Structure 1
Amino acid sequence: MEAVQRLPMLSFARKTSPEPTSFGPKLKQYIRDFYHEDPESYSNEIHTLEGLRAAAVCAVKDFSGVSTLTRYYCQLHFLQSKFPMFKDGAAAVSFTWRNVYGSMVHTIADIRYEILCILYNMGALHTQLGALDTRVSGDGIKMSCAHFQYAAGAFEHLKDSFPQPAGVDLAADIIQFMYYLSLAQAQECVLEKSMMDNRRPIVTAKVAVQLVDYYRSALNTITQGGADNSSIPETVGSKIYENWKCYAKFKMVYHTCISLLYHGQQAEEQQKMGERVTFYQAAAEKLEEAVRLSKGMDNIEAINEALTFTYAVVERKKRAAKNENEIMYREEVPPLDILSELKGAPLVKGIMFNVSDPEVTGSDIFARLMPIKAHEVSSLSSEAEVKLLRKVGTVIDEDDKELSVLMTSLQLDYLKQPSEPESLSQEATTSTYSILSGGTSTSNEKMMITQQTEADHSDHAINEAMDFSMSN
């Protein structure tokens, strides 16, 4: 089966934005009013941001397009930490996007709308790149598998973080379908690699069983409760809806055939020849059902090649198993429903990048602006510092008044005569120094005395302030 034709994969269309977004007016006004900085000094940053959005909206279908979308998505997260850009926010900017499945255009002044549209486009672009490769080589299979896992990660994050109501193009049930389908197609790549590498039948069978489960989950999402979910065909259109439903059902049935085929090979290895006949017969029946479901599908040439090759393999094994059991082994052929079911092996998962990884995000365009919360904390800290200094100053003034009253009550005014207020104090200080030094003081010595006295007063004031701060 390693030579079987690769079946086509399903991809999803991206949203388009018919109008550019102007960040300048709102962001500049907020920079002036809140950050109290010159808004014109941020003209280059705003120009860079608008250019990045324009490139992201028209991202090319290759790795550089993924990188552009990812960087813009991360910059949006940086923006919302520095500007109030949610609905009714002071810096809210209008974003315009067209419905994926129609011509309706929506304009919403909320950065979350922009984030969810970009996140959806990231998932859609990954499905396009995953479906683009023919997967004829091991490296191509691995690359497609990685793209579908990244698509699943984007859709999973979208439905969990930005759930949308029914009836819109990014409704929760539609995104849920895309999530399961992306996981299924990633698991299908693993199955192709397992068959290419000739893994043990039990391993390949488990991979195929899980693949069927993923496609079943995708199909159940758009046909809830066994009946068609009316909101989805109305939203995406009956043609796209039928295409999705037929694709998921065909893949589910076809890969059930593949899982039964490898179940039969596993039974053959275990010398369970009667069970081998049962599994091969069931595989042939499922393949006939897949052939009926394939009628009218897109890429029918590739599908028919895969069905023809698979039919030849299954029929050959079914006939050989039946003949050998009738002639040699003569084992009872049990019905399929009494045989134990094999549990699937999930080998894929949704992958989401880290928005804090600088290798992914690139440098923050508005790195010069601190986040809003940090700015608010800084303002509160400065205000608290001013209040503390004002409080300390008030206490010092009150203490000075009390000291003055105390000195007056002790009648110490004679120490300082009004006729010579400065000279007496200076001479007394100089004489004291002269006595202690045993000689006449010089001008340098007087300067040292004055500086020391001022230093003592300064140290005393600092100590009082520190004591007050510690006690409060």
Structure 2
Amino acid sequence: MSSFLAVPLKHTNEVDLVKPLMNYVENIYLASSELSSEIREAMQELNKMRNKACNQPLDKHQNALDVLTRYYDQLVAIENKIPITATQNPISFKWKDAFDKGSLFFGRASLTLSDGAFERVAVLFNCGALMSSIAASQSMRTDEELKIAAKFFQQSAGVFAHLKDTILGIVQQEPTPDLMPDTLSVLSAVMLAQAQEAIYIKAEKDKMKPLALMKLAAQCAEYYQEAQKQLQRDAVRGLFDKDWTNTVKGKALGLSALAQYHKAVDNADSKNIGEQLSRLIESQSLMQQAISYMPHETFNIQYAAIEKAYTSAKKDNDFIVIFQ
């Protein structure tokens, strides 16, 4: 099982933080030349930090996430002392929409605001996006990789949920589509579903009991179904590629199929062949629908297991019918 979704990063232009912030420091605090020199060095370091965090490629690794979070923390610390707004020390921050690829005749959608709060929002969005990329880049073959994936998908979901709840109070004009509450709600829902899927994969790998696996798969399917509902909202239609909508649909169906399969295995253990066969038929149907949305290799092993279990259960059921 694979095909995890990652949120693309927002992109920005280089800006000069040093000059406007130093003007404020020198005018307000009347700093001595020695102190002014120290502050200038600190501002230059902040400028370098922004360039590294926002204008250079970021690896799908914790170290790259640390670069982003350090810059975010520094922004918060500085704004506690030096305001960055449209009326005080304005610095134009331009950020492009993460999902808008632009076209031959039109550039990508973007928003420019002279507000440090907007900069923080964009950087925090990228923290959530990078968390999703780190999680999705795991091969999901080892316990450690599955734990990392679950952790970062959960953290990513939390970041987007926080932005959803706060964005309209922070950005004082209509944001780009990627920062609209409905979009952020979708991102949080998808990341939460993927976190649950990583937990399910680990449980299946650990050979947990069928009923426990059934519950985990069913919960995961519910999360994907919720994400699917949110993707169907008018406000976000057309924003996400088919890869997103198909993956979420396919996973909702596939995990529902696996929930039925694990319950069927439990039925086999309790010799309830009639219910076992019924659930396997439903599992087959759901999985056949799932693979119509997904690359075949996503569920090929699971589909083969369902088919094998169905063939065996049907044989047992036919045998019972013959000898009744």
TM bin (shorter chain): 0.7 to 0.9
CA contact (8 A) 2:10 2:122 kept: yes
Whether 1:45 aligns to 2:39 is no
> Which of 134, 155, 159 is the aligned partner of 1:129?
134
Whether 1:10 aligns to 2:5 is yes
> Which of 181, 193, 202 is the aligned partner of 1:184?
193
Q: Deviations over 1:166-219 (max 9, x none)?
A: 762221111111111111111111111111110001111111111111111111
| Residue of structure 2 in register with 1:158 after alignment | 163
| Residue of structure 1 in register with 2:211 after alignment | 202
Whether 1:245 aligns to 2:235 is no
- For these two proteins, the number of residue pairs brought into alignment is 306
Whether 1:21 aligns to 2:26 is no
Q: TM-score, normalised by structure 2?
A: 0.88
Structure-1 separation of matches of 2:237 and 2:281: 36
| Residue of structure 1 in register with 2:68 after alignment | 69
Map residues 268-307 of structure 1 onto 2, 5 A cutoff. Answer: 268-294=268-294, 300=295, 304-307=296-299
Q: TM-score, normalised by structure 1?
A: 0.61
Letter in 1 for 2:47: E
| Residue of structure 1 in register with 2:231 after alignment | 222
Map residues 85-100 of structure 1 onto 2, 5 A cutoff. Answer: 85-88=84-87, 90-100=88-98
CA contact (8 A) 1:167 1:232 kept: no
Q: Deviations over 1:419-442 (max 9, x none)?
A: xxxxxxxxxxxxxxxxxxxxxxxx
CA contact (8 A) 2:149 2:198 kept: yes
CA contact (8 A) 1:59 1:68 kept: no
Q: Deviations over 1:333-383 (max 9, x none)?
A: xxxxxxxxxxxxxxxxxxxxxxxxxxxxxxxxxxxxxxxxxxxxxxxxxxx
| Residue of structure 1 in register with 2:105 after alignment | none
| Residue of structure 2 in register with 1:323 after alignment | 315
| Runs of 4+ off more than 6 Å | none
CA contact (8 A) 1:123 1:150 kept: yes
Structure-1 separation of matches of 2:242 and 2:175: 18
Structure-2 separation of matches of 1:104 and 1:257: 39
| Residue of structure 2 in register with 1:232 after alignment | 236
CA contact (8 A) 2:110 2:176 kept: no
Task: Provide the secondary structure at the position in 2 that maps to 1:320.
Answer: helix
Structure-2 separation of matches of 1:308 and 1:188: 16
Structure-2 separation of matches of 1:73 and 1:289: 43
Task: Provide the secondary structure at the position in 1 that maps to 2:212.
Answer: helix
Runs of 5+ consecutive residues of structure 2 not aligned to the other structure:
103-107
Letter in 1 for 2:220: L
Letter in 2 for 1:79: I
Map residues 403-422 of structure 1 onto 2, 5 A cutoff. Answer: none
User: Looking at CA atoms only, which structure, 1 or 2, has the larger radius of gyration?
Assistant: 1
| Residue of structure 2 in register with 1:344 after alignment | none
CA contact (8 A) 2:220 2:255 kept: yes
CA contact (8 A) 2:91 2:114 kept: yes
Structure-1 separation of matches of 2:253 and 2:278: 17
> Which of 25, 35, 47 is the aligned partner of 2:29?
35
Letter in 2 for 1:64: N
Letter in 1 for 2:143: G
Letter in 2 for 1:308: N
Task: Provide the secondary structure at the position in 2 that maps to 1:232.
Answer: coil
CA contact (8 A) 2:177 2:183 kept: no
Task: Provide the secondary structure at the position in 2 that maps to 1:97.
Answer: strand
Map residues 327-338 of structure 1 onto 2, 5 A cutoff. Answer: 327-328=319-320
Deviates more, 1:43-52 or 1:143-152: 143-152
Whether 1:212 aligns to 2:211 is no
| CA spacing shift, 1:115–1:166, aligned 2, 3 Å | closer
Letter in 2 for 1:15: K
Aligned sequence identity (%): 23
| CA spacing shift, 1:329–1:32, aligned 2, 3 Å | farther
Q: Deviations over 1:226-260 (max 9, x none)?
A: xxx1x4245x3xxx432211111011101111111
